[in-house]
A and B are shown apart, each in its own frame.
Chain A
Amino acid sequence: MEQTILTIINSIRIAQELTPVTELHTTDNLREDLELTSFDLAELTVRIEDKYGIDIFEDGLVNTIGEIYNKLQQ
Chain B
Amino acid sequence: MFPHALRLTAATALASFIAFGAQAQEKVVNVFNWSDYIDSSILDDFTKETGIKVVYDVFDSNEILETKLLAGGSGYDVVVPTANFLSRQIQAGVFQKLDKSKLPNLVNTWDVINERTAKYDPGNEYATDYMWGTVGIGYNVDKVKAALGIDKIDSWDTVFNPDSMAKLKDCGVYFLDSPTDVIPTALKFLGLDPEDNSPDNLQKVEDMLLKVRPFVRKFHSSEYINALANGDICVAIGWSGDVFQARDRAEEAKAGVNIAYSVPKEGAEMWFDMLAIPADAPHVDEAHAFINYLLKPEVIAKASNAVFYANGNKASQQFVDKAILDDPAVYPDETTMKNLFTVGALDPKTQRNVTRMWTKVVTGQ
A binds B: no
